[in-house]
Amino acid sequence: MATKLPTVAIIGRANAGKSSLFNRIMRAQQAIVAREAGTTRDNVIGKARHGQHTFWLVDTAGLKPAEDEFEATIQEQIAEAADAADVILVAADSTEYPNDEDRRVAKTALKSRKPVILLLNKTDLRGSLPDGEFRRLGIKTIIRTSAEHNTGIHELLDAVCTEIPIIHDKPASDIVKVALIGRPNVGKSSLFNTLAGKQQAIVANVAGTTRDLGRITLGYHGHKIELIDTAGIRRQGKQAVGIEKFSVLRSLQAIEEADICFLLMDVNELNTQLDQRLAGLINDAGKGLVLVVSKWDAAIGKDAYTRDALAPQIANTFDFVPWAPLIFTSSTTGQNVTKLFDLALDIHARRQQSTKTRILNDMLQRAIQAHPPAGLKNSHPKLRYIVHTDTNPPWFVVYGSNLKFVHWSYKRYLERQLRDAYNYTGTPIKLSFRDEKQIKSNRERAAKGLEPVTKAYKRTKETKRHSC
């Protein structure tokens, strides 16, 4: 079963309203996953849902006019969007007649043989041109939109979803998927090749879904492990306008698809902000994480005490993921390479481990007795019971009352108690809090055909804000 989420790219010349369309779609769906600065403006990537469909949505930088210094990269950007995307949305300003740039964008999009939808944006403005003026672009499907007034957005999403499959976020599989993540030249491909040579038997060698994702499925101690090699992510401001725009998207796809991520760091260039950011993305995605220091054989000034000195420094830098194991490797000498397989299988087993509700609730009551949660006057949180609801990542839900007053530090405290009770080394765990009174209220409102309290409250706030 395919696990790669479909990709939808919005392309077009500058000021066509691409960012407004992106923001309108994402505001109605899910939060933004990542923002990566490009050389012209921010590239924005988000995961959107519509009905049963989930897909990556990419907002690209506006195409520059011919006399611009980036003229040579315009075709690269369009071609890369067409190559990476499953559906291409060509945005055009409905108040302006199509020009040479619009025609060039449309021609390249159609040449990709991917589904192409023409969005005539800003149709709410006076002077909006009829569809007939744009049919000469050759795109059959035309949807009139207004990001400002939310016109045509639902029709647009329906049209997109007819072109993409329904992909479930967590397909059942007995293969442990491991992604190699990191900046360029930190040794990902070398480690990929070394790991491929250390396995007991090669099960399959499958080409990647994109040209810079390498894949191989291995057999190790009776388990199948799929390795995913990704292109390096450059730091902000150093991403090229053309092909490298989508390296972030592809790494995000690899993170989303993987069960466990190996974050590689060059031993001679440690503790960079981008490494921290990548670790944060892996943590937010709920994936297993191993911090891998590569090129240990080439460490400058290495002696018997170097590792002992570096380990605390790295741990301090990544203190927001204290559960992630740290390992020093060398693809050249093979040092600790095989241990990565063992680490991956151990982490995968911990993510799958089952718990007993009685033991969990005994742990919760002991934690409350030792350190009761603080709150406001007459509004103290009451934590009644806890249940284990999911794996990959391990997910726990706490039920009680006044839970909105639970401080983030107390959530950290509960997480530490869970980690002491069960060994969750190498994986994040997620905690949710559900207020029993609110659940009961929402059920009563649903029986009356009313919206849940939280949604009604948010909508009331939005109505007040717009009326001011």
Domain holding 19: CATH number? 3.40.50.300
Residue 149 shares a structural domain with residue 282: no
Q: Which of 174-178, 278-282, 299-303, 322-326 has the highest mean pLDDT?
A: 322-326
Task: Give pLDDT tens digits for 101-156.
Answer: 888 888 878 888 899 999 998 888 888 898 989 998 999 999 999 888 888 999 99
As annotated, the binding site includes: 59-63, 121-124, 182-189, 229-233, 294-297
Q: Is the pLDDT of residue 210 over 80?
A: no
Residue 227 shares a structural domain with residue 208: yes
Domain C-terminal end among 317, 352, 387: 352
The pLDDT assigned to 324 comes to 95
In the predicted model, what is the mean pLDDT of residues 431-444? 78
Q: Which of 135-144, 254-263, 450-459 has the lowest mean pLDDT?
A: 450-459
Arithmetic mean of pLDDT over the chain: 78
Q: Which of 81-85, 86-90, 166-170, 217-221 has the highest mean pLDDT?
A: 86-90
Q: Which of 119-123, 278-282, 407-411, 448-452 has the lowest mean pLDDT?
A: 448-452
User: Distance of CA 185 to CAs 168, 174, 191, 226, 230, Å?
Assistant: 33, 31, 11, 22, 11
Domain C-terminal end among 113, 132, 161: 161
| Count of domains forming the chain | 3
In the predicted model, what is the mean pLDDT of residues 211-222? 74
Task: Give pLDDT tens digits for 357-381.
Answer: 899 999 999 999 999 998 777 788 8
**Given pLDDT bands bounded at 50, 70 and 90, which one contains residue 260?**
very high
3-state helix, strand, coil in the chain (%, to 5): 40, 25, 35
Residue 135 shares a structural domain with residue 148: yes
431 contact partners, CB below 8 Å, separation of at least 6: 395, 396, 397, 398, 411, 414, 415
Residue 251 shares a structural domain with residue 280: yes
Residue 58 shares a structural domain with residue 92: yes
Whether 465 is covered by a domain: the verdict is: no
Report the Cα 166 to chain-centroid distance in Å.
18
Of residues 40 and 98, more confidently modeled:
98
Closest CA to 68 of 39, 92, 35: 39
**Given pLDDT bands bounded at 50, 70 and 90, which one contains residue 82?**
low
**Given pLDDT bands bounded at 50, 70 and 90, which one contains residue 426?**
very high
Q: E strands within 169-273?
A: 175-181, 201-204, 214-220, 223-229, 260-266
Read off the CATH number of the domain in which 399 is found: 3.30.300.20
The pLDDT assigned to 248 comes to 66
Q: Is the pLDDT of residue 434 over 80?
A: yes
Which range marks the domain in which residue 122 is found? 7-161
Whether 21 is covered by a domain: the verdict is: yes
Residue 368 shares a structural domain with residue 441: yes
113 contact partners, CB below 8 Å, separation of at least 6: none
Of residues 420 and 231, more confidently modeled:
420
Task: Give pLDDT tens digits for 44-63.
Answer: 677 788 888 988 888 776 55
The pLDDT assigned to 196 comes to 80
Whether 75 is covered by a domain: the verdict is: yes
Whether 342 is covered by a domain: the verdict is: yes
Rounded CA separation 416/98 (Å): 59
Residue 97 shares a structural domain with residue 110: yes
**Given pLDDT bands bounded at 50, 70 and 90, which one contains residue 459?**
very low
Whether 462 is covered by a domain: the verdict is: no
As annotated, the binding site for GTP includes: 59-63, 121-124, 182-189, 229-233, 294-297
Whether 296 is covered by a domain: the verdict is: yes
Residue 344 shares a structural domain with residue 366: no
Rounded CA separation 237/274 (Å): 12
Whether 239 is covered by a domain: the verdict is: yes
Domain C-terminal end among 352, 386, 406: 352
Q: Which of 15-24, 70-79, 200-209, 338-347 has the lowest mean pLDDT?
A: 200-209
The pTM of this model reads: 0.65
The pLDDT assigned to 327 comes to 93
Instruction: Provide Rg for the chain, Cα atoms.
Output: 25
The 8 Å CB, 24+ separation contacts for 386-390 are 386/357, 386/360, 386/361, 387/357, 387/360, 388/354, 388/355, 388/357, 388/360, 389/432, 390/430
**Given pLDDT bands bounded at 50, 70 and 90, which one contains residue 208?**
very low
Whether 466 is covered by a domain: the verdict is: no
The pLDDT assigned to 63 comes to 59
Residue 181 shares a structural domain with residue 150: no
Residue 230 shares a structural domain with residue 285: yes
The pLDDT assigned to 234 comes to 63
The pLDDT assigned to 241 comes to 43
The pLDDT assigned to 465 comes to 41
Closest CA to 376 of 397, 407, 349, 347: 407
Residue 138 shares a structural domain with residue 270: no
Token duo for residue 368: 């409350």
Q: Which of 41-45, 51-55, 241-245 has the lowest mean pLDDT?
A: 241-245
Residue 226 shares a structural domain with residue 313: yes
